[in-house]
């Protein structure tokens, strides 16, 4: 369930007990959505803490708001997102609504996929069971340029003030932080959330947030400082201006019903101690054996001809293992014959 948040069967007992109902939620965001300014950004990031379930408070700036998923876009990877009102209204607190898409001054709050459900009159609170972020480039194959990095263990305090001079982190500083990078290609890449044994197990209502986003500046909520939640996600730079990137967010939760909703209570069933340390250790072992779990390229079914054309046009593609070299070689003749027939399609 943790390793495959999109396709697995949801089962109770992740934290040692079953106290609610299970649900899988999905949402999508792309870099060309929202804002009045055309997207000419060449770098950015999307970082998410699934322990919380926030959507942006549309009453902002009249009331404090919260957020747990943030996107930043810019044309310069050295720029730090702002965290204070700017001259002429061009700045704003970290996490302001849509600011990343209209002027690139600071990061924008992205709605959590579980936010609409948890904020409803039916749900009291929830906790995460698994989460993943998938990024897909949907532009032209011959324009897929750039560098992608995976973030998996960034404390929320560092995101807000870990940059030079105490500013929020820039794209370049996040790239220096990550130790796993790859070239942007046309394959979908996936980053899986590693449950935090100290933070993820807590049930949280929609109003609970790790940040308080106010007109003056965004700050870390005191409760979040104690539990030390962290964000994960994807950072990129040196893409073509306005490169089309789509992010699919998937999150599975255990939720408890509001007493006034009419849904009868779910009895508590205790199974054992929390399974989070065992699950993380097992997945770490699998990854050390050469099978990526936390950050990976999603393998899709493709014909040999389409793989060859992809590698030729984008300079990327699936790596061919040693054991497959002979098989590819023996199939090359027939693939090229088919490729001649499909050549007009490959040029489209």
The string of pLDDT tens digits covering residues 271-307 is: 889 999 999 999 999 999 988 999 999 865 444 444 4
Whether 172 and 51 map to the same domain: the answer is yes
Give the residue ranges of DSSP H helices in the chain.
Answer: 115-118, 156-161, 171-177, 222-227, 276-288, 304-314, 325-346
Residue for token pair 């079914």: 301
Tell me, yes or no, whether 283 and 316 share the same domain: no
Lowest mean pLDDT among 26-30, 75-79, 98-102, 222-226: 98-102
Residues 44 and 165 in one domain: yes
DSSP assignment of 210-276 equals SEEE-SS-EEE-HHHHHH--EEEEEEEESPPTT--EEEEEEEEEEEEE-GGGSPPPPPPEE-SS-SH
pLDDT of res. 301:
47
Shared domain check, 251 and 108? yes
Q: How much of the chain exceeds pLDDT 90, in percent?
A: 55
Q: Rounded to whole angstroms, how far apart are CA atoms 67 and 89?
A: 21
In this structure, are 198 and 339 located in the same domain? no
Is 271 in the same domain as 309? Answer: no
Whether 1 is covered by a domain: the verdict is no
Residue 7 lies in a domain: no
Claim to verify: residue 115 and residue 155 sit in the same structural domain: yes
Q: State which residues form the domain around 52.
A: 17-297
CATH number at residue 268: 2.60.120
The total number of structural domains in the chain stands at 2
Distance CA 328, CA 325 (A): 5
Q: Is residue 254 part of a domain?
A: yes
**Same-domain status, 240 and 342:** no
Identify whether 51 is part of a domain: yes
What per-residue confidence (pLDDT) applies to 100? 59
pLDDT 10s digits, 240-253: 998 889 999 999 99
Q: Is residue 3 assigned to a domain?
A: no
The contacts of residue 40 (CB under 8 Å, 6+ apart) are 75, 241, 242
Residue 257, number of CB atoms within 10 A of its CB: 17
Confirm whether 224 is domain-assigned: yes
Name the band, by pLDDT with cuts 50, 70 and 90, for residue 216.
confident
Position of tokens 């939760």? 253
SS3 label, residue 135? strand
Report if residue 114 sits inside a domain.
Answer: yes
5 within some domain: no
Same domain, 218 and 325: no
Domain final residue pick, 297, 313, 330: 297
Surface-to-core class of residue 301, CB atoms within 10 Å of its CB (0-12 exposed, 13-18 middle, 19+ buried) = exposed
128 lies in the same domain as 189: yes
Mean pLDDT over each residue of the chain, to the nearest integer: 83
Do 118 and 217 fall within a single domain? yes
Does one domain contain both 129 and 91?
A: yes
pLDDT tens per residue, range 186-197: 899 999 999 998
pTM over 0.85: no
């Amino acid at each position: 369930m943790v390793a495959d948040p999109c396709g697995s069967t949801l089962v109770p007992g992740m934290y040692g007990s079953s106290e609610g109902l299970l649900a899988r939620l999905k949402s999508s965001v792309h870099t060309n959505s929202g804002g009045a300014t055309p997207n000419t950004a060449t770098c950015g990031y999307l970082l998410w803490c699934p322990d919380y379930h926030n959507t942006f408070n549309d009453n902002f700036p009249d009331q404090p708001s919260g957020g747990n998923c943030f996107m930043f876009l810019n044309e310069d990877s050295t720029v730090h997102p702002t965290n204070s009102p700017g001259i002429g209204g061009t700045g704003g607190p970290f996490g302001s609504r849509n600011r990343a898409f209209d002027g690139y001054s600071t990061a924008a709050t992205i709605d959590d996929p579980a936010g609409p459900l948890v904020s409803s009159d039916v749900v009291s609170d929830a906790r995460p069971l698994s989460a993943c972020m998938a990024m897909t480039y949907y532009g032209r194959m011959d324009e897929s340029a750039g560098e992608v990095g995976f973030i998996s263990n960034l404390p929320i305090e560092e995101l807000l003030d870990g940059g030079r001079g105490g500013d929020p982190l820039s794209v370049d500083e996040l790239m220096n932080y990550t130790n796993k990078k790859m070239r942007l290609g046309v394959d979908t890449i996936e980053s899986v959330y590693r449950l935090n044994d100290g933070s993820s197990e807590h049930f949280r209502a929609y109003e609970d947030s790790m940040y308080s986003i106010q007109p003056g500046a965004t700050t870390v909520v005191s409760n979040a400082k104690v539990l030390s939640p962290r964000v994960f996600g994807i950072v990129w730079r040196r893409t073509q201006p306005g490169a089309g990137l789509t992010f699919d967010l998937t999150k599975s939760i255990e939720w408890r019903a509001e007493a006034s909703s009419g849904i009868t209570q779910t009895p508590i069933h205790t199974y054992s101690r929390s399974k989070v340390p065992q699950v993380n250790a097992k997945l770490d072992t699998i990854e050390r054996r050469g099978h990526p779990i936390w950050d990976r390229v999603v393998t899709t079914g493709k014909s040999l001809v389409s793989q060859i054309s992809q590698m030729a046009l984008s300079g990327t593609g699936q790596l061919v293992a040693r054991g497959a070299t002979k098989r590819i070689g023996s199939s090359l003749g027939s693939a090229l014959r088919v490729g001649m027939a499909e050549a007009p399609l490959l040029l489209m």
